[in-house]
Structure 1
Amino acid sequence: MIRILFLMAMISYILATLLPQQQILNQSVSALCMLIVLFSLRRVRGLAMAFGLSFLCLGSLMLLISHAAASSFLLSFGEMIQMVTLFTMVPILALPIRLGRYAHELNQIIRKKVSSPPHLYRLISCLSFFFSSFMNLAALPLAYHAVASSIDYFRIEHKSRWINCAITHGYAMPLLWSPITPIVGTVLYLTGTTYSQILLPLILLSICGLLLDWRLAGKERPASPMFQ
């Protein structure tokens, strides 16, 4: 049931974005999100339940104190549904990698050119670094689906954790300076600094971070390719 509610909420949000003049769509998004919260409270336990109820009660109290209209209680739900929609749709961006069989071609290159796990680690993090420079969240599924099958050619312990580290470490470095990173624009606005002043130092800093990560990854226990 809750999955259906999430799907309906995301579809309603997309329609509300495409048709902003239809206020009923915004109201339906809020109503669906309120139902999602109520249904979720029946499933969660522990800290999640405590924090959820705390925020729900505090938010309701703030609306009561401010003498908000009854409609404001409903419309207060759903402010973050865009993030849920974003994370749900991001994997779709990896479809060109699958349909175009780019991963297969990349695997062939890796089998011929890459000789060790540290070398593969550097390749994966560099690829993730490149994608993250101009694609932000889309870099994660693209990098993963492009190289995920390549690690099967190497004897690597904890393969899932290994590839996640390689991708996320490379992904994180461009977030210091990439213009599509929201925090970069926020910092520039609050400090009054021009982008040209910080661009070069931050690029150099991110590259140094990438090189340091390669150095630390190279100190791990070596493994050998399975196909040699």
Structure 2
Amino acid sequence: MMMLYAVAAADADHAAATDDTSLQAHRYDDVTVFAEPLTDTPERSTREVLAFGRVLQQLWSHHPVLPVRFGTIVSDETELAQLVAERESAWTERLTAVAGRSEIIVHLPLPSDAAPDPEPDEPVESGAAYLRRRAAEVRRHDLETAELKAVLAPYASETAVLPQVRTGEARLSALVPDELVETARAAVEKWATNWSWATVTGPWPPFSFCQETEA
């Protein structure tokens, strides 16, 4: 039994296997698959997931990889070869798309669902006023997002709306060539001065653009 970690190009360096795991590189015509032999099904704990993530980060420090969803298991090398035969073309295409690129993430405020607390002696907001305010905030957010995509367009080959992880915050990720990351960040930061709150983080490994690796 093997747990899959990541897919890389066929010429990936075997030395990318980390010291703290028994990671192995399985080479095929167009891709290399990094996997760890196991005797038991991996525990789906926070500790194990974080350890898995650290291995992915280390692999990426050597060369572009597509992370495989945590807990993906194949019984043996025959099953792995069958999986590669089915997915090799898609994996190769996605590796080409992310090679030499990183992602930056812009964090944007979401429109509030709640009515603001009134100041002392201030009348409570009516239902109609709340709906008008809410509609105006949604329009502002839509405009903000559209403007942000336009700012990123000269630099990003792809953008993606990421799942919400913090209350009141939206995230837009952009896939940017490494040599343009700082320029793209500066453009976003300059644009953000026109808005009440928006921040940019990264560069990060472009794992948000590796969906094709789910098996």
What interval of TM-score do these two structures reach, taking the shorter chain for normalisation?
under 0.3
Relative contact order, higher structure (CA 8 A, sep 6+): 2
TM-score by length of 1: 0.27
Q: Structure 1 or 2: larger helix share?
A: 1
TM-score by length of 2: 0.28
Q: Structure 1 or 2: larger strand share?
A: 2
